Structure 1
Amino acid sequence: MTETVLIAGTASHVGKSTLAAGLCWLLARRGVSVAPFKAQNMSNNARVALAPDGTWGEIGVSQYVQSRAAGVVPTTDVNPVLLKPRGSGESQLIVHGEAVANVSAGGYYDDHWPVARRAAEESHARLAADHDVIVAEGAGSIAEINLHDRDLANVETARFADADIVIAVDIERGGAFASLYGTLEFVPDDLRERVAGAIITKFRGDPSLLASGIEELEARTGVPILGVVPHDDPGLPAEDSVSVPDLNANESRIVGDDCVPADRSVTIAVPRLPRISNFTDLEPLAREPGVRVEYVPLEDELTDADAVIVPGSKNTVDDLGALVDAGFDDHLRAFEGPIVGLCGGYQLLGERLENAGIESTRDVDTVEGIGLLPVETRFSPEKRVERVSRSVTVGGPFDTAGTVTGYEIRMGRTTLTAPASQPFGPESCASGLVVGTYLHGLFENDPVREAFLESVFALASVPRPRCRVDDEGSPYDRAASLLETHVDLGPVGF
């Protein structure tokens, strides 16, 4: 019989994704057949996975990462329901990887909840038929009493999966004991007996200082504290925009305090779009010695930037409007270094957006783009979701050739309005130092990343540092080590 353990939380961003990935990796290394699962996710950071019918579909990035940690092929069963916020209180609803509707919160629960729950239960059943353990990740807090009759990722998962529950609580926020105590009080009665324990995460300092608090909490609730996990980011991709500022700090990955002095580093500016998506595209750059990825407000100028990357957007048209309203379009036109547009960022760098109302919460048809690339984009209701390979030809700041792999998640087709280089295939474009492509995961390709950074350092007249990077194992190793070293998994059978 398949065992399911649900990593729930007292709140969002308490470390559930890291704990789940670490547990998947730990069990897989022990020879256990394990798969991740998150019944319902809300994130604009998505990856491409196989759907039950053999087509490509979308899942949240954390479940993609957890699948890799578990050593299984990512499928839409690991995240059967995905909500992608698009602004004005609406989200795009993805079921089994396919976009089915744009819904408000009320519309989702009124019109789509039975379908979503059925999809989640079906996906869990398929995973359970193929694996011995399922590591499920909850969403937000398991103690949202206003949602207990429709909490798919926490309450319903625990019920239909007959799951043991572990609750994560982030002590860095303060009030961890009160938060955990209140959460346990509000867990539905039928699930309270399933709570096997709790894990305190993101602790800085001497764990012995928590001893008296742990003792009293355990005495009051009868729930054991399974461990205290130190504050240590293993480097797994972040799932939501709460984590964006963390990408600015990559110094801890460099050995030696003097490895990269200030005059031997470059800054890649990323406009912080209101509806930013797939910002994990930037993480391979942020891990490079001497490279600072800085998310800049739209009101800021680009005086300190050596390159600009315009990221993906869940709502290209409205984000373009926000960018223009703030005057950032003028800053881009005046910028003389490399500019790369990824997916939605590529679309808004063009001359025009047609059928714009499809990709907007406003009633619009044609919207003028920034005009840095000779392309126009025409939106349609059909969505392209696919893993792709592209032949690279030399273009702009990418002085390389070969084949790159990645994935596309987009609405709209982009065509040239004038002759131009197309370094990443038929729907890409380059003009001088400005490049646009739909290819997510572009900088995960080593030759492309190296070529781009060589260009950025050279154009900035900065010698590129060749520092030795800490060999701490993979992010999966580091996440698993946090559990293996600091958590007693005996109460959940591991």
Structure 2
Amino acid sequence: MAKSIMLMGTSSHVGKSILTTALCRIFRQEGRRVVPFKAQNMALNSYVTLDGREMGRAQVAQAEAAGLAPMVDMNPVLLKPTGNAQSQVVIMGEPVGNMSAREYHKGYSLKAWDAVEDALTRLQDEYELLVVEGAGSPAEINLKANDIVNMRVAKYLQAPVLLIADIDRGGALASLVGTLELLDEEERALVKGLVINKFRGDVTLLTPALKFLEEKTGKPVLGVVPHIEQLGIDEEDSVSLEEKSCGLGNTAADRIRIAVIRTPKLSNFTDFDALADEPDVALYYVSTPAELGSPDLILLPGSKNTTEDLLHIRATGLETAIRRCVSAGTPLFGICGGYQMLGRKVCDPLHTESAHDEIEGFGYLPIETTFAAHKRLRQVTAECADFPFLGEKIPGKNLSGYEIHMGETIFTEDVHRPFRIVAAGGRPADVRDGALSADGLVCGTYIHGIFDDDALRRAIINRLRARRGLAALSVQYRYREGKERAYDRLAETVRESLDMAKLMSIVGMEANA
């Protein structure tokens, strides 16, 4: 039977996902067969597995850190907020419908527990160690009875728990003491250690506080993890966008300015992480016309509610600002929901996403999209079939990505199709994807992750550089290698910050010599 360690937090966004990722990497480095697990994730950032099923993005990063291919057993329940206190419920990678928070928590969540148990059984049979992530706080009294992601999992596995607090927010000591106080005796007994996360400054100044915590709670403090700047690891959800740049600052004069339109239901913003890591790019998120400025490229990201986000762009004046930029020659690129917005109409007759039957799009591309009950989920390999961008054809081979959308798009007239899908779901294919406006300024695709390709990304940036009178550069940043370095850097930092001997003892393992 596999051993397990579980990470819970005093609240959301205290760093559970990142520390779970760190432990996955550390135990992999120790030669252990380690696997991540989170029973239930609420996120708009999702991923499609090789077998065409959907899971939370955080567990994808954790799987990569553990050296594994992502699979839905790592995240059997996924909730994707759609608006109006509703979420699309995804069980074992397949959507089962939209539910209100009340419907889910009061009626359905315990039914979803069966999928959690089945996934845990399979993982326990195959792996040596499960690194399990909780959600929010285990002390939410109003949710505990039907909770399937925190103490119910810990009790089921009899997993030792590390309780994490974010000291950068303030109130870390009170939140740790208060959380333990609200747990019942059996739950408190499972908590085997405390961790202070995101600390800035001289850690020796915390010594009296750490001593107090141990005396007050009877639980050892395993360590203090510093705030890690520019981590370079996929974030779980749009809450982390608060930490991303929403302005250009004073350092962007000699960099290519790329603006991402930020909407309330923005999804899969990890599509742009590779661009953000390029040294000659200033990528920033904008919510208002004033923030847009004069970018070199505008990106329209995916959305869990395309119609509502399109209306939001229109209501805030961003549509007018975007049109002004495009009229002045600024290229505009949309992915998935953003691609749908670029067309003439977005229709939702079944009210799959919203109460609107039909919304007028930007009208840049001769396409119309209608939402259906079936969601397309598949990994794809693509190439640039014929992608002229700012006067030069963009090369691209073996572009890895995935599709995840419920819209069916038709073409109302002939249009340039820039991409060709050559494999889908592991099988050969020959399907054109995307559309390009006649003037070459507006482009859209259904392929998530297309900017992860180093050569294609650099070719696009170099065309933008040429427009600014800047010389072309060779590949500056290799995305996959960068992620591996980030996982190793994270693991090293956490190793140095935690009492690893004590942690190994809690897990029931010995550290390798």
> How high is the TM-score relative to the length of structure 2?
0.89
Deviation string 1:362-397 (CA, Å, 9 cap, x unpaired) is: 1x3222111111211121110001101112123243
Q: Which runs of 5+ in 1 are unaligned?
A: 252-259
| C-alpha contact 1:337 1:459 (8 A) present in aligned 2 | no
Aligned 1:394-413 pairs, distance under 5 A: 394-397=386-389, 399-413=394-408
Distance 1:236 1:84 in 2: 21
Aligned 1:450-461 pairs, distance under 5 A: 450-461=458-469
Cα deviation, residue 272, structure 1: 1.0
Q: Does 1:140 align with 2:144?
A: no
| C-alpha contact 1:428 1:437 (8 A) present in aligned 2 | yes
Distance 2:349 2:487 in 1: 41
1:469–1:403 CA distance, 2 compared to 1 (3 A): closer
Distance 2:441 2:148 in 1: 47
| C-alpha contact 1:358 1:380 (8 A) present in aligned 2 | no
| C-alpha contact 1:36 1:63 (8 A) present in aligned 2 | yes
Distance 2:215 2:291 in 1: 56
Please give the secondary structure, in 2, of the residue aligned with 1:152: coil
Cα deviation, residue 242, structure 1: 1.3
Aligned 1:137-286 pairs, distance under 5 A: 137-233=133-229, 234-248=231-245, 262-286=252-276
Counterpart selection for 2:332 from 335, 339, 343: 339
Please give the secondary structure, in 2, of the residue aligned with 1:28: helix
Residue of structure 2 equivalent to 1:430: 436
1:441–1:469 CA distance, 2 compared to 1 (3 A): closer
Residue of structure 1 equivalent to 2:428: none
Deviation string 1:213-240 (CA, Å, 9 cap, x unpaired) is: 1101100111111010111143211111
Cα deviation, residue 352, structure 1: 0.9
Residue of structure 2 equivalent to 1:47: 47
Q: CA RMSD in A?
A: 2.2
Please give the secondary structure, in 2, of the residue aligned with 1:402: coil
Distance 1:464 1:115 in 2: 56
| C-alpha contact 1:265 1:290 (8 A) present in aligned 2 | yes
Structure 1 residue identity aligned to 2:267: S
Counterpart selection for 2:371 from 379, 403, 424: 379
Aligned 1:90-101 pairs, distance under 5 A: 90-101=86-97
1:357–1:296 CA distance, 2 compared to 1 (3 A): farther
Please give the secondary structure, in 2, of the residue aligned with 1:300: helix
Cα deviation, residue 458, structure 1: 1.9
Aligned 1:7-18 pairs, distance under 5 A: 7-18=7-18
Q: Does 1:369 align with 2:361?
A: yes
1:100–1:468 CA distance, 2 compared to 1 (3 A): closer
Distance 1:467 1:439 in 2: 22
Counterpart selection for 2:347 from 339, 346, 354: 354
Residue of structure 2 equivalent to 1:485: 496
| C-alpha contact 1:358 1:381 (8 A) present in aligned 2 | no
Structure 2 residue identity aligned to 1:453: I
Please give the secondary structure, in 2, of the residue aligned with 1:263: coil
| C-alpha contact 1:42 1:85 (8 A) present in aligned 2 | yes
| C-alpha contact 2:214 2:221 (8 A) present in aligned 1 | yes
Cα deviation, residue 141, structure 1: 1.1
Please give the secondary structure, in 2, of the residue aligned with 1:69: helix
Residue of structure 2 equivalent to 1:102: 98
Cα deviation, residue 465, structure 1: 6.9
Percent identical across equivalent pairs? 40
Cα deviation, residue 114, structure 1: 2.5
Structure 2 residue identity aligned to 1:452: I
